[in-house]
Amino acid sequence: MSELMGVYNRAPVEVVRGEGVWLHAADGTAYLDCVAGIATNALGHCHPGLVAALTEQAGKLWHVSNIFRIPGQEALAHRLVTNSFADVVFFGNSGSEAVECALKTARRYHAHHGAPERIDVIGFAGSFHGRTYAAVNASGNAAYLDGFGPRLPGYVQLSVDDWAGIEAALRAPTAAAVIIEPVQGEGGARAMTREWLQALRQLCDETGTLLIYDEVQCGMGRTGKLFAHQWFEGAAPDIMAVAKALGGGFPVGACLASAKAAEGMNVGAHGSTFGGNPLAMAVGAAAFDLLADPALMAHVAKVGTQLAEGLRALVARYPDVAVDVRGKGLLLGVKLVTNNRDMMATARQHQLLVAGGGENCIRLLPPLVISEAEVAEALVRLEAAFATTRAQLNKAA
């Protein structure tokens, strides 16, 4: 009997070493990793720049808490602010914590301006914002609330296709904020359109509702821009949560906000023991500098197009297995006819690691440094998995 709490349905793979886009298991099998720690190891496994930053800082100082000034926070915050809409940053340890800070910042803003009744957070079906209690209430998957008591008050769930409902919710006198992933991750790699995001931004401006982007998965270069919403003019948020790739595999999360949106976040309004610790800041700064390189963003756009075109060709050849490709950059989903969990296992048999996703999708989230040759190899291995699945279907027929 395992002494670990049984909350994970783990794949039967014991990984012991990683290098670039490859993971090596204890039995000697090498896997092409298109999960990347769920879009976290954006620079691949054991990137030498990150290893050097961590090793150097580890010999100096690990943790002091936010009682004291931590210069590394100021350095990484400056990088984030300089390259985004934001004026201020709060550091935590994860995407969930970044989302929690975003939600608290939004409600606190309205209370600070004399409207404490404005508490409603409007979220969307298919969204995922983390596993803390407020984050699961903001998310669009009711299963994550099962058995944990009543819903928290002030959380509204809508469909992204229900514009009339969205407008009514934002015009309600209790509306505080709307939270959306510009490219949904777990919900099935659905990318929001330019027109949709711009219309949402305009409606937020009209109603005084704050716009929160959850770019925990789609941010930090995954779509070919440093932040996914930067593909579109006139769509910047008031508050944004980032994490995952921000630390390149080391736990780092951040809530970014405009000075106006953060007006209520004064001394004592929020905090974190480990958030922004010197180790995380050293790795985060090194990761940021590598991820913000325009050459890497151009590479992501190039290989993302290569992967998407290859996936569409696969879907065309295997209509009995898959029906659609969605997403942006290197956050891509393939909607299947057959069961996505079965496909994940079949792909592992061909030494390819892919993630699951909503709407019966598999997600491909490789490190951003994946080469064109490795993209081609991933497509070869996925086609082998599709062929195996087709053979099983024919045998069962």
Is 205 marked active-site? no
CA 5 distance to own-chain centroid: 25
Among residues 90, 91, 104, 214, which one is catalytic?
214
The DSSP element (H or E) to which 135 belongs, if any, is helix 133-138
DSSP string, 222-255: TTSSSSGGGGSTT---SEEEE-GGGGBTB--EEE
- In degrees and rounded to multiples of 5, residue 224 shows phi and psi of 100, -5
DSSP-derived secondary structure letter, 294: H
Known catalytic residue at 244 = yes
Q: List the catalytic residue out of 85, 90, 124, 128.
A: 128
Our answer to whether residue 60 is catalytic in this structure is no
3-state secondary structure of 155: strand
Candidates 104, 225, 244, 328; catalytic one? 244
Beta-bridge mates of residue 19:
22
Within the chain, strands assigned E span 15-19, 22-25, 30-33, 88-92, 120-124, 155-158, 175-180, 210-214, 239-242, 253-257, 322-328, 331-336, 352-353, 355-357, 361-364
The residue behind tokens 């002091």 is 64
Count of Cβ atoms closer than 10 Å to residue 281 Cβ: 24
Which residues are identified as catalytic?
128, 214, 244
